[in-house]
Amino acid sequence: MNPAFPYESVHVTGQPVVMQEPVFALREKFADFGVRKNPEYKDLDEHIAVELELAAHLFASGRAGEAGAFVRDHLKEWGTAFAGQLAFCAQSDFYRGLALLLQAALDDPEGVAASVQEFFEAVDPGPGLFTLTEGAVEPGPEKDIPTHCYTCGALCGMTAKVKDGVFVKAAGLKGDPKGAGRLCPKGAATPKHVYSAYRLKAPLIKENGRFRKASWQEALDRTAEGVKAAAPGKLAYFRGNDFVNWIHEALFEHLGCPKGTHRTMCDNSNRMATEHILNDKRPWINYQESDYILHFGMNELSTSYGQRKRAEFKSALKRGTKLVVFDPRKSETAAQATEWIALKPSTDGAVAMAMAYVIIDEDLHDKDFVANWTHGFEEFKARVMGQEDGTARTPEWAEAISGVPAETIARIARELAAARNKGVLSWTGLAQTPNAHWSTAAIQALNGLLGTFDAPGGPSLPFKRKLKAPWSEKGKPEKTNAPKLDKFGLWSGWSPALFEDQVDDGRIEGMVVYWGDPVLSWGNSESVRRGMEKLKFTVAIEAFMCDTALYSGIVLPDATWLEQAQVKPDWLYEAFISYWAEVVEPMYDTLPMWRITQEIARRLGLGDYFPWTDIKDAFRKQLEGTPWSFEELEEHGFLVTDQAEYRKYEKWGGINPPEGYSSSGKSKTGKFNFVNPVSVEKGDVDPLPDHKEPEDELKPDAEFPFIFGNFRLLQHEHCSTFSNFQLMKLRGGNELWINDADAAELGISEGDLVRVSSPWGQAEIKAAPTPDIARGALAAAGGFGHSRGLEGDPKYPDLGGVNVPGAIIKPNYAEGIGGTPPLKYMKARVDRV
């Protein structure tokens, strides 16, 4: 359950991280003694088994003196700590006994010499070595490998410094358009991700409720059998992340599996606006020349998609750019803003509509842009001015909804319109609320009115290069139509927020999850767990024992992203192609995902489609016939394909990028749409921006008077970084933000344990009363709450937090347009425990 780590560096440094400094000293010892670790042995050179074998080997070759010295000087240093932990963690007499035995031996190195010798004479392992092999090796060279970070979706360039095959340091990659030579603390901590002692090290199969180790052969055979046995269209495939996604996606799409991605849980409500009214899910503001920035529900300083963008944002603030942040919580960004405006949760649409009212009413909009590059202005104007339903979206109207004074709204609207270089942006502060779709559209309508798209300081229109097909002669396996599990206002597909219902009514009977943690991230954790337990067949392809892997029948250990490669076209303001290098070889008995896919496919008779022995052959194909070569990409880590340009739409003749490029969305009119053309087609979704009241069932009431919202920390990424000791030391837990006046009324003080409850569940967490959150709002950082890994390890009782949304969110519920769970809108009450 709770492992005592059998690794030297863990005990030497006291950190649950392997392959640290001691490994180099140890390797020198191996070289001195003329041996090296056997590459067939899947564990590390600094494993106790390897070191004991070295001692035994020395005894066996008549070098008892050296062996004794090795045990005394090298093994004893950390063996004592190991024996102590083993005794502490052991759940059986056998392991407790083993710990005592080891300790006794270490206390008496001469004795151990004798007893090891005796032991080996008694068991007579034969002449061969097992974990070691004969022959010293020279240390490998020191290398700087140009690659990219994959900790969050920002995908910043990274230089991996590698020494003798060990990834020792992560630094920025000079000139990279996303990172500009910078990394955030998460990027800098990536060596501790690969070398976290909590990694999955071998395939696991659950039997009678317990996991046992299995060979790849057996685990893959079982996986293939489960896939074959699944009823057509009822085996769901979920990929939380998209590393080399074209490979595994092709396999599961061929099999007709309903596919899920993080899209719905993240911001599909928002994308159903931006991908139809604009050309992409996320235009980012180009801050280089900003004079005025308006942010709604996004925390650029902590969640920025790109360290270059973040640096440019900071330098804009430094030179006096005005920043206004609307957020119920004083985020890191709000704290740096010219103005922080604490509106009521889920009322952003009202504020934005009222700003549009002032801009239109006072004739401040960009007439030229509106006339030539937008669609539906008159309908929008009619809504805003109240000609449609008799309610003008005035600042007074918005004040009543949002709590933001009407004068403030009007003043900011005028300031924004008057500023030279300006832009307005929102993210999940809106996307993860019930009315996100229309509020996001209202935010973008401000950009439409002011003609800021692709203007200096405005949201830059996304575009990236399309790459060539990576497939071999046999081509791509044909896609089989999969059932669309859910139908929302503007989107059909699978919303994992509705998972338990999907299992209960038979839409899903089995599931393969790759690199995602449904139990922690799909909404209500209890509901997801129940759903998983009802499935016939479950596979988790993971790097750690996440909560979802715990509930799976088969666990396939994926190598981390630092142990496998990919090519990816990307975009910030320039278009470019990025490369992820295999920084170190896959550790332990792990495989990269392309190999796992290939092995499953082979067992299903589809191996011909996935023929590679070297995945770089596929990457070469992706660049074949383009002006760029794979070799060039590998050498530099990135290749800029298109320079940044203002007002690309003039050149393109519309806001959609031309042939040869892609973006995640498409404007059907080629213009910015005040009226969403896809909603018009569907007929039953309001196509215009607005503020919509959340459903009554979700709204706060006398019993649950607060609204809880989840937010992110700079130091963590979703639920991915919680076994990274470096990051957990920086941020090891979370607490409940509550306005200090609200706390005082409830008799709650700093550090009190409180119960946050909703009609759907409850969680206990420490309170942190603060003036930095609006009255009636509650917040806590997300990502915490793992039952295993560092958070579950009793050796680190101070590290670990609470997954509040997982406990209190309404199960089987998503907002109605894109299927996104309301992670920032949960009614709740707070009581002292």
Q: Which residues bind ligand SF4 (CB under 6 A)?
A: 149, 151-152, 154-156, 179, 183-184, 186-187, 307
Q: Which residue is nearest to Mo ion (CB)?
A: 266
Q: Does 433 bind ligand MGD (CB under 6 A)?
A: yes
Q: Does 324 bind ligand MGD (CB under 6 A)?
A: no
CB nearer Mo ion, residue 68 or residue 496: 496
Determine the 3-state secondary structure of 592 from DSSP. coil
Give the nearest distance from C-beta 503 to ligand MGD in angstroms.
Answer: 18
Which of ligand MGD, ligand SF4, Mo ion, none interacts with 187 (beta carbon under 5 to 8 A by kind)? ligand SF4
| Number of residues located near Mo ion, criterion CB under 5 A | 1
Element (H, E) at 566: strand 566-571
Give the nearest distance from C-beta 125 to ligand SF4 in angstroms.
Answer: 46
Which of Mo ion, ligand MGD, ligand SF4, none interacts with 373 (beta carbon under 5 to 8 A by kind)? none
Q: Does 489 bind ligand MGD (CB under 6 A)?
A: no
CB nearer Mo ion, residue 527 or residue 710: 710
Q: Does 191 bind ligand MGD (CB under 6 A)?
A: no
Give the nearest distance from C-beta 299 to ligand MGD in angstroms.
Answer: 4
Q: Which residue, among 513, 516, 519, 507, has the nearest Cα to 482 in the 3D structure?
A: 507
Count of all residues that appear for the chain in the document = 833
CB nearer ligand SF4, residue 311 or residue 604: 311
CB nearer ligand SF4, residue 98 or residue 171: 171
Q: What is the distance between the alpha carbons of residues 728 and 420, in angstroms, rounded to a whole number?
A: 43
Which of Mo ion, ligand MGD, ligand SF4, none interacts with 767 (beta carbon under 5 to 8 A by kind)? none
Burial label for 439, CB within 10 Å (0-12, 13-18, 19+), is: buried
In this structure, what token pair is assigned to residue 230?
Answer: 């699944």
In this structure, what token pair is assigned to residue 421?
Answer: 């270089």
Strand partners, 781: 711
Is residue 394 within 8 Å of 359, Cβ to Cβ?
A: no
Among the residue ranges 117-125, 553-561, 579-587, 683-691, the one whose residues contact ligand MGD (CB under 6 A):
553-561
Which of ligand SF4, Mo ion, ligand MGD, none interacts with 302 (beta carbon under 5 to 8 A by kind)? ligand MGD
CB nearer Mo ion, residue 370 or residue 719: 719
Q: Does 195 bind ligand MGD (CB under 6 A)?
A: no
Which of ligand SF4, ligand MGD, Mo ion, none interacts with 709 (beta carbon under 5 to 8 A by kind)? ligand MGD
Is residue 238 within 8 Å of 511, Cβ to Cβ?
A: yes
Q: Does 772 bind ligand MGD (CB under 6 A)?
A: no
Q: Which residues contact 112 (CB under 8 A, 6 or more apart)?
A: 68, 71, 105, 106
Give the nearest distance from C-beta 300 to ligand MGD in angstroms.
Answer: 7
CB nearer Mo ion, residue 266 or residue 809: 266
Give the nearest distance from C-beta 382 to ligand MGD in angstroms.
Answer: 26
Among the residue ranges 63-71, 262-270, 735-743, 824-832, the one whose residues contact Mo ion (CB under 5 A):
262-270
Which of ligand SF4, Mo ion, ligand MGD, none interacts with 149 (beta carbon under 5 to 8 A by kind)? ligand SF4
Q: Does 503 bind Mo ion (CB under 5 A)?
A: no
Which of 83, 266, 354, 804 touches Mo ion (CB under 5 A)?
266
Give the nearest distance from C-beta 152 to ligand SF4 in angstroms.
Answer: 3
Which of 268, 303, 447, 724 touches ligand MGD (CB under 6 A)?
303
Which of 401, 714, 727, 768 touches ligand MGD (CB under 6 A)?
714
Q: How far is CA 747 from CA 701, 736, 742, 833, in A?
A: 20, 15, 9, 11
In this structure, what token pair is assigned to residue 728?
Answer: 């957990």
CB nearer ligand MGD, residue 152 or residue 202: 152
Q: Does 302 bind ligand MGD (CB under 6 A)?
A: yes
Q: Does 446 bind ligand MGD (CB under 6 A)?
A: no
Residue 425 Rama label (left phi>0; alpha psi -120 to 50; beta):
beta
Q: How far is CA 610 from CA 168, 245, 473, 602, 606, in A?
A: 33, 13, 10, 8, 7
Which of ligand MGD, Mo ion, ligand SF4, none interacts with 307 (beta carbon under 5 to 8 A by kind)? ligand SF4
Give the nearest distance from C-beta 221 to ligand MGD in angstroms.
Answer: 21
Give the nearest distance from C-beta 677 to ligand MGD in angstroms.
Answer: 25
Q: Which residue, among 56, 36, 44, 39, has the nearest Cα to 18 in the 3D structure?
A: 44
Among the residue ranges 120-128, 290-298, 651-659, 792-800, the one whose residues contact ligand MGD (CB under 6 A):
290-298
Among the residue ranges 126-134, 264-272, 470-478, 485-493, the one whose residues contact Mo ion (CB under 5 A):
264-272
Q: Which residues contact 484 (CB under 8 A, 6 or more apart)?
A: 258, 492, 493, 494
Separation of CA 675 from chain center = 32
Give the nearest distance from C-beta 335 to ligand MGD in angstroms.
Answer: 11
What's 648-674 look like in SS3? HHHHHCCCCCCCCEECCCCCCCCCEEC
Q: Does 824 bind ligand MGD (CB under 6 A)?
A: yes
Query: Count of alpha carbons within 13 Å of 790, Cβ hemisphere only?
Result: 26
Among the residue ranges 19-27, 172-180, 260-268, 502-510, the one whose residues contact ligand MGD (CB under 6 A):
260-268
Phi/psi for 578 (5° steps) reads -115, 155
Phi/psi for 197 (5° steps) reads -70, -5
Number of helices (H) and strands (E), helices first, in the chain? 35, 33
Give the nearest distance from C-beta 375 to ligand MGD in angstroms.
Answer: 27
Q: Which residues contact 773 (CB under 8 A, 6 or more apart)?
A: 328, 329, 330, 342, 737, 738, 739, 779
Q: Does 805 bind ligand MGD (CB under 6 A)?
A: yes
Q: Which residue, among 168, 246, 204, has the nearest Cα to 562 in the 3D structure?
A: 168
Q: What is the distance between the alpha carbons of residues 610 and 247, in angstroms, rounded to a whole number?
A: 8
Q: Does 55 bind ligand MGD (CB under 6 A)?
A: no
CB nearer ligand SF4, residue 546 or residue 713: 713
Q: Which residues contact 228 (CB under 8 A, 6 or more apart)?
A: 604
Q: Which residues contact 518 (CB under 8 A, 6 or more apart)?
A: 238, 496, 499, 528, 532, 548
In this structure, what token pair is assigned to residue 515?
Answer: 């690199």
Q: Which of residues 508-537 bind ligand MGD (CB under 6 A)?
A: 515-517, 521
Give the nearest distance from C-beta 507 to Mo ion in angstroms.
Answer: 24
Strand partners, 828: 706
**Which residue pairs, CB below 8 angstroms and at least 24 apart, start in 800-805?**
800/732, 800/733, 801/732, 801/733, 801/734, 801/765, 802/734, 802/763, 802/764, 802/765, 803/520, 803/525, 803/763, 804/708, 804/710, 804/736, 804/756, 804/763, 804/765, 804/780, 805/523, 805/708, 805/710
Residue ranges binding Mo ion (CB under 5 A)? 266
Residue ranges binding ligand MGD (CB under 6 A)? 152-153, 240-241, 262, 265-267, 296-299, 302-303, 326-329, 331, 345-346, 348, 427-430, 433, 515-517, 521, 541-544, 546, 558, 560-561, 709-712, 714, 716-720, 779, 782, 803, 805-806, 823-824
